[in-house]
Amino acid sequence: MHGIDWIILIGSMLFIVVYGVWKTRGQSSVQDFLKGNDSNWFTVGLSVMATQASAITFLSTPGQAFHDGMGFVQFYFGLPIAMVIICLVFIPLYHKLNVYTAYEFLESRFDLKTRTLTASLFLIQRGLSAGITIFAPSIILSAVLGWDLTWLNIIIGSLVIIYTVSGGTKAVNVTQKQQMSIMMGGMAVAFVILVYSLPDGINFSNALEIAGASGKMDILDFSFDFDNRYTIWSGIIGGTFLSLSYFGTDQSQVQRYLSGKSVKQSQMGMIMNGFLKVPMQFFILLVGVMVFVFYQFNPSPLNFNPVAQKSIENSTYFEQYSELENENSKNFEAKKDLIFNYVSAEETEKIALKKAIISAENKDKELREEARQIISQADSTVETNDKDYVFIHFILNHLPKGIIGLLLAMALCAAMSSTASELNALATTTTMDLYKRNNDGETDGHYLKASKWFTLMWGVLAILFACVADLFDNLIQLVNIIGSIFYGNVLGIFLLAFFFRFVRGNSVFIAAIITQIIVIIGWKFDWMPYLWLNLFGCALVILIAVFIQTIWNKPDNELDELEEIGK
């Protein structure tokens, strides 16, 4: 990297940390540190979006589109539906009860053990995700730039810990506005450069046509193929349940909108997220498709992971791999000629040319798959799935000086943004649902100090997990898989609390444990695509709890006189 790139990268990181510490100086109460309650709807909306938009979103999603096209956007189709439900049901209730965490409500509705179990499920799931959020950009930047992976994990985690321990929820909110600007600004710059990098005679409309001819613009899949991860049905149904679970019961998001000045401000922030999230993901995927089009006119490696490439150079498979690269070069030139002919052809000629382009694209996929097999034979420890490396390869090899630093700052800002929200939520849940609930009667200053220590503790644990984590298929999928394993069960517990008035704590507690075991087994043995685990877990815990309560028909003693929630 050039000196100007280092200046932009380091300057952006230090600005975020210093700004977060300075804006939140003087906080003296646990209320300010863990909750806030002074954000307007725009800050709430940006904070919610920035929390979800991790480095994984900006590094892995373009690679997902490069390989598989725009179909991944269907994953987000349930999100606007979930936002409406959360605005109508969750937000008014949380504000009325004046809770710090979503799980406080469960004790008043059920009992302490159900609150503790649900909070613990969140801590496990979000604790793992916090490590992945740090690990994701670290492993990619380490492989591409040659930086030490462990030190990258420590640096990213430590920067986040500094301003999150210092300022709590408010620090997370105020820094996320700046981070979101850098993130979206970086993607916009990359998109503009991609458009202007198209060859003479090829405009943006032609680029979309080329992507469509190669099968990358197939956005909607109405099939009922249960083995297909991304269809409009899995997106609307599974995506709605996943979004309800994530935004309605995950403290990292609940804490963002509980910081709103009022119910209305929180609701407007979530509606903003509902309006903008799908277009934002569409745009990020479109950047990935444009990277695909870019590499139709510019040579690309058979595998974008530089470590995989190096493992071949020092192995006995080098000659075999070189022959494959020569074959790939010939296919690239032939496909490029077909694409130029396709753009200038008459409509009657395009059908035959499109078939030829698809054939060349299939050949490209076959060569890349064969390359992955050879790499695995050369070194079985090397990650051959290169989706997470596609966009960073483009950034480092084809962008001008200065812009590289901006795009790397984008990735690190995204990592810091999500990690800060996660550490803040983990500390809040640990403080309020576990520590204070079992150690009541201390001063406000005591709990403020405890919450800062818990923030530090979770930050260190996240760094440690990041240091021992391993790359898993595609990072954007890994985060969603972990969420899907836990979220359905947690959402089901909350739906039981809201809508099944006769079900009591003992039934829910037993049902939740049984459900979590079954869901983990179902994921392990691949019973269904992971998005459906959200619906499966939610439905299962409700059915089991209702069944147990009906058979048992004995309400918990401490809940006999429970008044309706909301009165």
pLDDT in tens, 289-344: 999 999 999 998 888 888 887 888 878 888 898 999 999 999 999 999 999 888 88
Q: Is 51 left (phi over 0), alpha (psi -120 to 50) or beta?
A: alpha
Q: What confidence tens digit (pLDDT) does each residue in 92-121 have?
A: 988 888 777 788 888 888 888 888 898 888
What percentage of the chain exceeds 90 in pLDDT? 17
Q: How many CA atoms, within 13 angstroms, populate the side-chain half-sphere of residue 126?
A: 31
Mean pLDDT to the nearest integer, 192-206: 90
User: What pLDDT, on the 0 to 100 scale, is given for residue 186?
Assistant: 82
User: What pLDDT, on the 0 to 100 scale, is given for residue 441?
Assistant: 72
What residue type is 342 in one-letter code? Y
Is-contact 68 149, C-beta < 8 A? no
Q: Which of 147-156, 218-227, 301-310, 473-482 has the lowest mean pLDDT?
A: 473-482
DSSP H helical ranges for 502-531:
505-524
Q: How many CA atoms, within 13 angstroms, populate the side-chain half-sphere of residue 510?
A: 12
More confident residue, 491 or 440: 491
User: What pLDDT, on the 0 to 100 scale, is given for residue 433?
Assistant: 79
Claim: this prediction has a pTM higher than 0.85? no
Is-contact 492 537, C-beta < 8 A? yes
Q: What confidence tens digit (pLDDT) does each residue in 494-541 have?
A: 899 888 888 888 899 999 999 999 999 988 888 887 778 888 999 999
Q: What distance in Å separates the CA atoms of residue 130 and residue 411, rounded to the nearest whole number?
A: 15
User: What pLDDT, on the 0 to 100 scale, is given for residue 279?
Assistant: 92
**In whole numbers, what is the pLDDT of the chain averaged over residues?**
81
35: CB partners within 8 A, 6+ apart: 100, 169, 255, 258, 259, 428
User: What pLDDT, on the 0 to 100 scale, is given for residue 83?
Assistant: 93
What percentage of the chain exceeds 70 in pLDDT? 87
Mean pLDDT to the nearest integer, 227-245: 82
More confident residue, 556 or 150: 150
pLDDT of residue 493 exceeding 80? yes
What residue type is 512 in one-letter code? A
pLDDT of residue 215 exceeding 80? yes
Point out which residues pair with 474 in neighbouring strands. none
The SS3 of residue 39 is strand
Cβ neighbours around 26 below 10 Å, total? 6
More confident residue, 90 or 224: 90
More confident residue, 248 or 180: 248
User: What pLDDT, on the 0 to 100 scale, is given for residue 565?
Assistant: 41
Nearest to 300 by CA among 335, 325, 323, 318: 325
User: What pLDDT, on the 0 to 100 scale, is given for residue 80?
Assistant: 93
pLDDT of residue 25 exceeding 70? no
Tokens read off for 162: 């500094």
Q: What distance in Å separates the CA atoms of residue 54 and residue 329, rounded to the nearest whole number?
A: 35
Is-contact 243 83, C-beta < 8 A? yes
User: What pLDDT, on the 0 to 100 scale, is given for residue 331?
Assistant: 92
What angle do the packed helices 149-196 and 55-68 form, to 10 degrees?
Answer: 50
More confident residue, 243 or 566: 243
- Candidate ranges 12-21, 166-175, 277-286, 456-465; pick with highest mean pLDDT: 277-286
User: What pLDDT, on the 0 to 100 scale, is given for residue 554?
Assistant: 56
Kindly indicate the confidence band of residue 477, based on its pLDDT and cuts at 50, 70 and 90: low
Is-contact 466 151, C-beta < 8 A? no
